[in-house]
Chains A and B, each alone.
Chain A
Amino acid sequence: MKRLLLALGLSISLPALAATVKVVNEAGEPLAQAMVTATPVQVPAADLSDDGYAPHGVTNTTATVLTRFTDAAGAVTLPDDANARYRVRAQGHVDAYFEQLPATVVLAPMNQQQLYASYPSNVWLSQLSFGGDEALKKSFLLNCAFCHQQASPFMRNERTQEQWLSVIERMNTYGARLPDEHHERVAQLLQSEYRELREHPQRVPAPRDWEPHLSQVEMVEWPIGDGFSQMHDFLLHPNGYVYVGDNLFDRLYEIDTQTGEYTVYKVPHREDDELGGILGNRFEVFPKMYNYMGVHSFAYSKKDGNIFITPSMQQALLEFDVDSKEFIIHELPGGYYPHTIRSDERDRVWFTLALSSQVGMLDRASGEFEIIDLPARGWREWLVLKSLPLVFSLDPDIRPTPSPNDVSTGLPMPYGIDVAPDGDVWVARLYANDIARIDAETLEVEMIDFPYNGPRRLRVDADGTVWIVAFQDSLLVSYSPRSGKFRHFELPVINEVPYALNVDRERGVVWVNGNQSDTILAFDIASERWKVYPMPRQRFFTRDIEVSEDDGAVYTTNSHFPTYQSEGGVPTLLRISPLP
């Protein structure tokens, strides 16, 4: 009832008027697909009294941001909001800002320097050749492009080779695994090739033009947190809320997208837990964080709606009771680094255990965990995997951490997981370049070689086809279990390294994130055609994707790490939906 009243109140208070603005260039010609963004001037007061962050149980309100695009006539209509300031952005033109939207906005053309600076990271990245060593570039992308954009202005800043080496070594403590023997060479190449690009920016290809379908959608953003937060995965829940995890601050945000209100639930940890959890504080040199658990991936029970979360820093599984708002910590009987999680129709919760190369399953009916070993690729790998409990029994300060090298690909790292309509479970192993099918009844594992590089996350469509992103190969890949055949599809933007994807089973659309190109990409399965949606902020690292089966609205988060490198310096939940 309270939510209903709030919604009614909101609809009453919504601006009754709408303003139509026309965007033109200096010649007076209409600019189609110009992006007009309305940001609140008065930001709602927020309780951030817990060391700059919202305390547990507090409900704050976000400063919701709305973006729409002009049509072929250069016109767009937005709510006439007295509390908004506006930014008008079009490719090749200088941003314009207004306190009140005029009837006509004239955008000035960028000069050449501004134009190059406005290009997204992927087109700059496309021009890094790594001295012609394609394998080295892929190794670099695999290890260095899954958290943040490479070739952004932050990366293109001149650094000495020593400074690059320092960065690489620091990143390897964060979780990158760039082989030791590549460090010097990569530092040298980054220093020289970025400089070469800065001096010859004309070599950088222009990004893809924004296209007419944009005038049919609107984008809404809900910013929460600050430049040190990281919105990782999230969940559209049948109760109408969106649940977003702040991976670095152990918080769960319950967002009401109707009102912009969000309630904060601080994820509990055991008293003797240490910062960084059992993995050791691998972010020891990150300026600010509070991640004892590491809120990573989400799934909900189709039986009672409770939410299950993988706390990647612990040997545990989190359950959030959506009614009582209480957390339950389930201790795992084994396995390390709970990663991606999904649930099935039988109220079983499946998740990858990335470090120990396992798949965990909680059968909620029995309350029992099943830990399924994925096969090792050799006796050495088997030995390493079996010795993990011994290794993790040691204090992080004296724990052996083998240096990655170019010969071994390291641990297989099961990453993405999904449950097919027939109940089978599919898993992608990032470093092993294979996928696994787990029989839902027998729990037998079948391994299938993946003929591409970097299978991070996968999803299964309504027909049972498995869709996989090939990260460093910049491809969308499908696998038909019936035919046993793979197909690949080039992405519509160059040098993208897709992290995740989701399938709109209702509409037959695969949504792929474009973390280097400030985009999200839609692939129509039937027509095999793409649509590209530019993000309203630069350095918008899209990661998880959720689709509202009801209306086809698509949600993603700006998951750049660190967030302060993004335009605006704050993580946002973003929804793309058809214009109302």
Chain B
Amino acid sequence: MRRVPPWLALLRRTGVACLALLPAASPAEDHGQWRHYGGDPGGRHYSDAAQINRDNVAQLEVAWVHRSGDSARFGAAMERTSTQSTPILLPPAAGEALVYCTPFSRVIALDPGSGEQRWDFDPDIDRRGDRPFRCRGVSYAEEPRVPAGAACRHRLYLGTHDRHLWALDARTGRPCADFGDNGRVRLYGDEGLAPGEVSNSSPPVIAGDLVVIGSTVIDFARAHTPRGTVLAFDRRSGAPRWRFDPLLGFPDSGSANVWAPISVDEDLGLLYLPTSAPSPDYYGVQRPGDNRHANSVVALDIDSGELRWDFQHVRHDLWDYDTPAQPILFDWREGGERIPALAQLTKQGFVFVLDRRDGRSLWEITEQPVPPSQVPGERAAPTQPKPIAPPQLLDPFLMPGDAWGLTPLDRAHCRRQLAALNNLGLFTPLQQDLTLMFPGSLGGANWGGGALLGDRPVLLTNINNVPFTGELIPVEQAPSGAPGDNHPAAGHRMRVTMAGTPYAVEIGSLQSFLGIPCNRPPWGKLVAVDLQAGTIAWETALGSVHEMAPFPLPVHIEWGTPNLGGGIATAGGLFFIGATMDRQIRAFDVEDGATLWRYTLPVDAAATPMTYTYRGRQYVVINAGGHHMFSRGTGDYLYAFALPQGDESP
């Protein structure tokens, strides 16, 4: 790795300091706004806007609806999309537009008050391959090295599905000619690879004078997948500055990529990377050892990209337990001391709370002995780390006696299935017998992450609570053909190839003949975690199953549904979230989880909402476009909600 000279690091830091003095970033203008994908660079998903609050949220109404036009333009390709984008609101100096990206990496700027389109940029991506299309957002920065008033003084950065990093003028959407090749940089990962094998989902982040981007890698189709290298570029010129391979060159694996959002800590000069599983997901004979720094939170020096510390939450992953969510930065209080901390949600349903300075866990870590693998040559890690608090956000203990059903018949069916499973609890490795995966690769937590209640160390997060099953199938017995695109969340069985290993894998949900999960509901829930006390403050079901039955039911049945997408908290005491398989966006009371408002959207909203205040009116905005994993229809809607005109509180 190339070292950065101290003088250059200082210069860059000076640049960062200059940025902080720019008028466009004044605190007053940021009040109640949403400038970053995660609300702020540390992913708190929190807004201090309070116009919409507990008392009036029930009056929320649709302020405007924007349609991106993707449905008309891309037709059948929409079936392979999931609409996950969270818009950002640009500061006035940058045009004060609401900007988001569509699953096909189009960037659209809207008038925040009316939803009318101001401009549209289409990178015309390569749509070959069978990977689903999605784009979680774009990032904004003011570039002080460009004269005020000139084009591309204010920039948007976009990572596309087909592995380009674009810099666009924030006011016009035109590519910035001084960045890379006329506005774009070709990222690594396309040489000799199948289209879509490496792509992008989460937005790049701005750190100092850099733009940093991870990648999405298909990590289950082949044993040796592309590297999960994180790349940093000069944010003006697009010149490469540093790169970081989480596997540190380990030759017997790939991936360990960073597909979830990265957090930026300018105070400590660190980036926090949530790294994913090494390849292949479910077979580790060819990659012995812990496989560091996969399945970790990795802290890198912003300037040099050098590793500062890491915390690995799964050793030698055999379950596809990627680090799925953006690390959430907050202050931990210990005695009178303020410790910079981060909370990391995991698919296993743990919340790890780490000291940002050195990666030390602020809660005691117990080494939980876990089952050995029965696969020849496989050496599963003998223990896995578990925080002594907060408690695991789901109970992975599921035995035949716990089988659940609507009737004695489907319960008995579930009981029989459970009794036949290879099931040694959390971290049971897959083998050639059907094995319980609870939680499965859906989580627990997923990329929606969580929301902090401002400065209070209380984290609200949506959790999946549905069991999967999986088994290794010797390649000679595996059906031929391309991997399917079915997903267990939709009740399908999904087959992945792991080419280059002796096995393929088949994964499905554990459900009765009625299509109902075999565990007791809720199957999706919202949990409030007191990070400082290490306790669960409250939890409630998230989602209604009334549209999941063979025919729609006329009333909501709040048993929770699988969910993808996140939520946001506001100073109005509210938590807004879509994410569920019932087309709802809901507002919950952050203090007790009571549902205060909900609205039925045309399709599921598998995206994280955001909120902003424009001309004195607070808006809550969410993308509603469905999710290919749910198989419940797609769309191209962006909904904005606000209080009725004239009803806004000051």
User: Which residues of A are at the interface with B, using a C-beta cutoff of 8 A?
Assistant: 51-52, 113, 117, 153-154, 156-160, 163, 166, 170, 173, 195, 198, 226-228, 284-288, 564-566, 568-569
Contact = CB atoms under 8 A, between A and B. Distances in A.
B534 A158 contact: yes
B596 interface: no
A113 B364 contact: yes
B531 to A, nearest CB: 11
B391 A195 contact: no
B533 interface: yes
Contacts of B364: 113, 117, 153
Interface stretch (B12-20, B399-407, B453-461, B625-633): B399-407
Contacts of A568: 369, 382
Contacts of B534: 158, 195, 198
A287 B423 CA distance: 6
A284 B399 contact: yes
Interface of A is mostly: loop
B240 interface: no
A156 B371 contact: no
Interface in B349-372: 364, 366, 368-372
B372 A52 contact: yes
B364 to A, nearest CB: 5
Given A285-B402, A287-B425, A157 B388 contact: yes
B390 A158 contact: yes
Contacts of B535: 158, 160, 195
Interface of B: 364, 366, 368-372, 374, 382-383, 386-391, 395, 397, 399-402, 423-425, 428, 533-536
A168 to B, nearest CB: 13
Contacts of B372: 52, 226-227
A157 B391 CA distance: 7
8 contacts: A153-B388, A154-B366, A157-B386, A157-B391, A158-B535, A195-B534, A227-B370, A228-B424
Nearest to B425: A287
Contact of A284 (B370, B395, B401): B401
Residue picked from A51, A157, A163, A228, most chain B C-beta under 10 Å? A157
Contacts of B391: 157-160, 163
A189 to B, nearest CB: 15
Nearest to A157: B388
Nearest to B364: A117
B370 A285 contact: no
Contacts of A195: 389, 533-535
Given A195-B534, A198-B534, A163 B399 contact: no
Contacts of B374: 51-52
A157 B369 contact: no
B382 A569 contact: yes
A284 B533 contact: no
A228 B371 contact: yes
Given A154-B368, A227-B372, 4 more contacts: A51-B374, A158-B389, A158-B535, A198-B388
A286 B399 CA distance: 8
B512 to A, nearest CB: 19
A116 B534 CA distance: 17
A281 B369 CA distance: 25
Contact of B395 (A51, A153, A154, A166): A166
B400 A227 contact: no
Contact of A569 (B369, B425, B533): B369
Contacts of B386: 157
A565 B395 contact: no
Contact of A157 (B389, B402, B536): B389
Nearest to B360: A113
Contacts of B369: 227, 564-566, 568-569
A566 B369 CA distance: 8
A166 B397 CA distance: 10
A66 to B, nearest CB: 20
Contact of A285 (B371, B390, B399, B533): B399
Contacts of A287: 371, 399, 423-425, 428
Contacts of B424: 228, 287-288
Contacts of B423: 287
A157 B395 contact: no
Contacts of B536: 158, 160
Closest 10 CB pairs of A and B: A569-B369, A285-B399, A158-B389, A564-B369, A153-B366, A287-B424, A158-B391, A158-B534, A157-B388, A227-B369
